[in-house]
Amino acid sequence: MDVIRLAIVGYGKIARDQHHPAIEGNTAYRLVAVASRNASVPRVANFATLEELLEHGPTVDAVSLCTPASVRTAQARLAMAHGKHVMLEKPPGATLAEIETLREDAHRSGVTLFASWHSRHAHCVAPARRWLTTRKIRRVDIEWKEDVRVWHPGQDWIWQPGGMGVFDPGINALSIATAILPRAFHLTAAQLQVPGNCQTPIAASLDFVDGVNVPIHAEFDFRQTGTPPIWDIHVETDDGRLTLAEGGSRMSIDGELQEEGPDAEYAGLYARFAGLIGKGQSDVDVSPLRHVADALMLGYRHTVEDFVE
Ligand SMILES: NC(=O)c1ccc[n+]([C@@H]2O[C@H](COP(=O)([O-])OP(=O)(O)OC[C@H]3O[C@@H](n4cnc5c(N)ncnc54)[C@H](OP(=O)(O)O)[C@@H]3O)[C@@H](O)[C@H]2O)c1
């Protein structure tokens, strides 16, 4: 296959920290353009908007949309209407219905749409899924806690409708849980802590159950200050307790380390995107976002102190 000429749209934290290095590290791609209102990148064509890039820029085969979900769907539709393959950062949309529109657009335009879930490419996610397939699961506990001021500096969009608040990182845990657990599960109760001056939760406590009544509990919190973040999933089974720690990069059984690996999540995403383009396929799984939508539908809201960055 010819090299994929790629553009990044929205050159913010994740584009800078992860997408750009992953693209540079994969010979299947050449970064030819960036569309970002307040950032530019040396040695590529720079534009303020995707519209300008599509009208005046070099030819691109694909775009990687690294903007917040609230603006991404319109950008994805525009890019696909111009025949470009599209990779969406997570979450794939601000609503579930808009993702169905995107699916139809991709099909109509004959392009690849890839709704990426970077945490699913963490080193120990696949080994954890394999280990769990032969065990009887008794309960699952998810702890996803980080300091919003450290991990999301200046990201006002996170507190606006569609910004998801603590579900922005929490959905990563749900993307792993939906990948490693053998059965579908659904929400039964949720408690949401929402700052008085925000539209989205700063913390959430969620209870799920699967089809054979295995309880799954999740605690998401943006107020983890002064200590390292906790991004852990514990699964009690009839054959020991699996812990997937540090966002899926370390796996232990009964406290004994089984496996750990380097951070290659975005390398994995770009390899997958190239594979999908090569095969003319799309990959759009909304299951993590569906759980967030359910929490926002079913959750009991508690107003907590204002958030001031
Ligand atoms: N930060 C992380 O650790 C992380 C990890 C994985 C995934 N993600 C996901 O990646 C996405 C972006 O997150 P981020 O952390 O990179 O956010 P960010 O630092 O705010 O970057 C997003 C960029 O998108 C552009 N943008 C923002 N609002 C826009 C608007 N209304 N219209 C057009 N462009 C707009 C901005 O660039 P310009 O102002 O230059 O246009 C901004 O720098 C989110 O969906 C997030 O969930 C983030």
CATH number at residue 245: 3.30.360.10
Written as six digits, the tokens of 174 are: 């749900």
- 33 CA from centroid of ligand 1 (Å): 17
Kindly state whether residues 73 and 93 are assigned to the same domain: yes
Kindly state whether residues 104 and 149 are assigned to the same domain: no
Kindly state whether residues 88 and 133 are assigned to the same domain: no
> What is the residue range of 66's domain?
4-115
Kindly state whether residues 62 and 134 are assigned to the same domain: no
Kindly state whether residues 298 and 153 are assigned to the same domain: yes
Kindly state whether residues 131 and 227 are assigned to the same domain: yes
- Is the pTM higher than 0.85? The answer reads yes
Which of 115, 142, 162 is the last residue in one of the domains?
Answer: 115
For residue 293, how many other CB atoms are within 10 A of its CB?
16
Kindly state whether residues 40 and 164 are assigned to the same domain: no
Pocket test for ligand 1, best of 9, 13, 309 (most atoms within 8 A of CB): 13
Distance separating the N- and C-terminal Cα atoms of the chain = 47
Give the whole-angstrom CA distance, residue 96 versus residue 115.
12
- Confidence at residue 263, expressed as pLDDT on a 0 to 100 scale: 87
Q: Residue 3 gets which letter from DSSP?
A: P
Kindly state whether residues 79 and 206 are assigned to the same domain: no
Kindly state whether residues 259 and 238 are assigned to the same domain: yes
Which of 74, 96, 115 is the last residue in one of the domains?
Answer: 115
Residue 194 lies in a domain: yes
Residue 270 lies in a domain: no
- Confidence at residue 1, expressed as pLDDT on a 0 to 100 scale: 59
> Half-sphere exposure of residue 127, counting CA atoms within 13 Å on the CB side?
18
Kindly state whether residues 45 and 110 are assigned to the same domain: yes
Per-residue pLDDT tens digits of the chain, which is 309 residues long: 589 999 999 999 999 999 999 999 999 999 999 999 999 999 999 999 999 999 999 999 999 999 999 899 999 999 999 999 999 999 999 999 999 999 999 999 999 999 999 999 999 999 999 999 999 999 999 999 999 999 999 999 999 999 999 999 999 999 999 999 999 999 999 999 999 999 999 999 999 999 999 999 999 999 999 999 999 999 999 999 999 999 999 999 999 999 999 889 999 999 999 999 999 999 999 999 999 999 999 999 999 999 999
- Confidence at residue 211, expressed as pLDDT on a 0 to 100 scale: 95
Q: Whose CA is nearest to atom 2 of ligand 1?
A: 14
Q: Whose CA is nearest to atom 3 of ligand 1?
A: 14
The total number of structural domains that make up the chain: 2
Residue 275 lies in a domain: no
Instruction: Indicate if 13 belongs to the active site.
Output: no
Atom of ligand 1 nearest to the CA of 14: 16
∠ CA(18), CA(22), CA(28), 5° rounding?
155
Q: Whose CA is nearest to atom 45 of ligand 1?
A: 68
Which of 61, 81, 115 is the last residue in one of the domains?
Answer: 115
Burial class (CB in 10 A: 0-12, 13-18, 19+), 168: buried
Kindly state whether residues 90 and 213 are assigned to the same domain: no
Residue 24 lies in a domain: yes
Q: What is the CATH number of the domain that holds 57?
A: 3.40.50.720
Residue 14 lies in a domain: yes
Which positions ≥6 away from 207 have C-beta within 8 Å? 187, 188, 189, 190, 215, 216, 217
Residue 280 lies in a domain: no
Residue 277 lies in a domain: no
- 159 CA from centroid of ligand 1 (Å): 13
Kindly state whether residues 179 and 239 are assigned to the same domain: yes
- 32 CA from centroid of ligand 1 (Å): 20
